[in-house]
Amino acid sequence: MRRTSLVAGVLVVQLTIVGTMIVNGMRPLWYGRSVTCLAHGIDPRDLMRGDYVELAYDFNELSLSDSTIDRDIDLPASFHYGDRLYVTYNESDTGVVVTGVFANQPQRTRNFLKATVQGRSYIEKDDSAKGWATIRVRYGIEEYYTDSRTARVVEESIRNGRRLFVRTKVLDDGTMRIAALEMSRATSNRQGQ
């Protein structure tokens, strides 16, 4: 009897942990506001992870030397891989336009995204000091798992000049999840067409 109760208790704890992880992953899709992003995709295939489309966005690289971007970051060298940043944005026809980079969660706007630092790029300011230009970040929307057919269609569409828009959902705390991928009509790379 006691052993059965112990097994049942362990099973309940494990199911609670898994259920909580699933609910937390789905919350942005249920309660988030829609934000559309322009992405650049490739179609990697991994034996351990399966088929997925790897996505990159213009706002994965944050330029701190851009004077039009607000920021509260005075000591960028103190940021390391895995640190949390908050990115404020406006939406445009081509997706997200970064308006600010902050170490602390913005209080005056709902339009911010939670980002994780992946790296930074240095530039020389002068002979005696080092400055830096960009921070590379991830938002949790850089990989989209799908079946192999859909991954090939996305890759082929991008090669044929179509633009890939990623429809995301964003919670009030800046957490993002991909809701859908959408392809535009083909665009021409040559002028006059």
DSSP string computed for 102-119: ESS--SS-S-EEEEEEEE
Q: Which amino acid is it at 193?
A: Q
**Chain mean pLDDT for the chain:** 79
Q: What is the mean pLDDT of residues 132-156?
A: 81
| Ramachandran bin of 45, using left for φ above 0, alpha for ψ from -120 to 50, beta for the remaining angles | beta
Nearest to 43 by CA among 156, 133, 132, 119: 156
Q: Which amino acid is it at 116?
A: T
Position of tokens 């249920």? 30
Could you tell me how far CA 130 lies from the centroid of its own chain?
Answer: 29
Render pLDDT for 67-119 as a digit per residue (tens, 0 to 9).
677 777 654 556 778 989 899 999 888 788 888 888 888 887 888 999 999 88
Neighbours of 137 (CB within 10 A): 25
Q: How far apart are CA 105 and CA 109, in angstroms?
A: 10
Nearest to 188 by CA among 166, 154, 162: 162
Domain residue ranges in the chain: 32-186
Structure confidence at residue 114 (pLDDT): 93
Name which residue leads in pLDDT, 47 or 182. 182
Give yes or no for a contact between 144 and 137, defined as CB atoms under 8 angstroms apart: no
Render pLDDT for 152-163 as a digit per residue (tens, 0 to 9).
787 788 778 788
Nearest to 89 by CA among 74, 68, 118: 68
Structure confidence at residue 20 (pLDDT): 87
Give me Rg for the CA atoms of the chain.
21
Position of tokens 């240095």? 122
